[in-house]
Structure 1
């Protein structure tokens, strides 16, 4: 097996990688379970947060919010088409230096609340804003129903189904750490 060691820019997050799969290392701890508070979500500059458990890079704040704790602005709501257009605008502008942002899958959104006591504690201590109310778009659809997308509430940890025309669903952009 060919293993390589990688250090991600600005954040100091380290990982062992092989065949495109990386395992995050936080200090001497392999991030396979909830790391100690503050170690799971690491700020990677002013605009992004890396989840050292899932190796996903999240925009620091959902669309419409800004600031270190996302305390400024207003959480924006979109229908599916508007969300896709906003995503395209952010990619064209290379948000935080990247042009490969995406709308998360339901599974990716669920990583934020997996082990809810761990994730909520980490959010308060380590870089994520407090959980915003409302539902967030995922790019996941139930099989055979492309006109419906799964949405997810970070507050309750519950998924729902929303027609693509539903307005007021929030957007939090994500990308895989490379």
Structure 2
């Protein structure tokens, strides 16, 4: 009897230490529910290939400050350094396209200046992140979608924006792994 009790305790303690509690959507719906089929596709195709974090930056302040821009760029780079991140090429971050836009317009200005044979420095051009100054960028067909990522106040000053950073991996199907990843994302945001 004592031997059976000891075996029972060992199995019970081992089971309690290794149990993986999780409430999954398939446990919340009837077995023949169409939601279960959708969840199966999500778990097997979507989550392992593309799980995203939305990083919201509120109360931007004077974004023309190079220090503030550097802090935001470093924030996005911290997420992109994570092991499961797909990398910068899969991140939706408007500031990178804005940099390309500025390079293009500066190159156009320089080529126009060379054509006109004048020597004006385009690098001294300062930029304020207002709706008025960014209107041309936000109206270009390839950059129009950034209107949904950027918010301005009533005065036309940049106040909020967000970026989407993509992650992938078969382990992202696990709710526990996604919970761990969420805690890592929050730690970066808190920092």
Would you say same fold, with TM above 0.5? no
Q: Name whichever structure is richer in strand by fraction.
A: 1
TM-score (ref. length: structure 2): 0.27
For CA contacts below 8 A with separation 6 or more, give which structure has more relative contact order.
Answer: 2
For the pair shown, the structure with the greater C-alpha radius of gyration is 2
Q: Name whichever structure is richer in helix by fraction.
A: 2
TM-score (ref. length: structure 1): 0.28
